[in-house]
Amino acid sequence: MSKCNFSIAINGSPEELIEKARKAITGAGGQFFGDASTGEFSLSTFIGKISGNYNATPTNFEIEIMDKPVFISCSRIKEELEKYMQQGL
């Protein structure tokens, strides 16, 4: 059962966004598997692991968080992802 579900609007191409996400997650020691339409990711933080999957359309990035530390809210995860996307990761 998922912990969070949310959608983020895509500005630009899904392929570029996915590649930036892949670089950011793997650069931080996480794992990222997938392509421009669907995939999954995981990342360990100092307070626990975050894992989930995504589906990308030309206009939206649909994210489902499957596991996260209890101390991190879904809105905080979404906020951080939106910040990275606006900054170009």
Adjacent-strand bridge partners of 61: 8, 56
The CB density around residue 32, as the number of other CB atoms within 10 Å, is: 19
Task: Give the Cα separation of 17 and 33 in Å (integer).
Answer: 14
89 residues of the chain, pLDDT tens digit each? 568 999 988 878 888 888 888 888 888 899 999 998 999 999 998 889 999 999 998 888 899 999 999 989 999 989 887 776 666 54
- Domains of the chain from N-terminus onward: 4-86 (3.30.310.80)
